[in-house]
Amino acid sequence: MPVYEFRCQDCGRPVRLFMSFAAYDTAVPACPHCHSKNLKRRIGRIAVAKSEDARMDAMMDDSALAGLDEDDPKSIGRFMRKMSKEMGEDIGDEFNEVVDRLESGESPDSIESSMPGLGGGDSFADDF
Ligand SMILES: [Zn+2]
């Protein structure tokens, strides 16, 4: 699913929001920590293939986000695993590792810093 990364300009914390692209067009994202709307967009490092956008948008219309707590890595992990199951595809070992670590309670920032290639795919391009 699309994951939008922001940095809160007021409290300085990273903010990660799950949104459909349709929702992002109209949404006014707010910081879950201090409720500031003064967020600056960052480059997302966890992302899914763009071809899935339409299906993601359809899924986002139901209650998929109802139980999601963005401050709880386990909740994010469960959400991501549910999404990958609904897509009916194996997204990849890297994705699965991220989900496993989220579900074990590791913070997304910690996971990202330990996986510098996350979402980049550079290692595959180098095979040529
Ligand atoms: Zn904030």
Ligand 1 centroid from CA 20, angstroms: 22
- In this prediction, residue 10 carries a pLDDT of 95
**What is the rounded distance in angstroms from the CA atom of residue 15 to the CA atom of residue 7?**
6
* Predicted confidence (pLDDT) at residue 2 exceeds the cutoff of 90: no
Alpha helices in the chain (DSSP H): 21-26, 53-60, 73-87, 93-103, 108-114, 122-125
- CB crowding 85-100: b at 16 or more within 10 Å, else e: eebeeebeeebeebbe
Chain segment 12-56, per-residue pLDDT in tens? 998 888 877 777 777 788 999 999 999 988 764 444 445 555 555
- In this prediction, residue 94 carries a pLDDT of 81
pTM: 0.38
* Predicted confidence (pLDDT) at residue 11 exceeds the cutoff of 90: yes
Ligand 1 centroid from CA 100, angstroms: 27
- In this prediction, residue 85 carries a pLDDT of 77
Ligand 1 centroid from CA 111, angstroms: 21
- In this prediction, residue 127 carries a pLDDT of 40
- In this prediction, residue 9 carries a pLDDT of 93
- In this prediction, residue 45 carries a pLDDT of 47
Chain segment 45-88, per-residue pLDDT in tens? 444 445 555 555 555 545 556 667 778 888 888 888 887 777 77
Ligand 1 centroid from CA 50, angstroms: 29
Ligand 1 centroid from CA 75, angstroms: 20
Ligand 1 centroid from CA 126, angstroms: 39
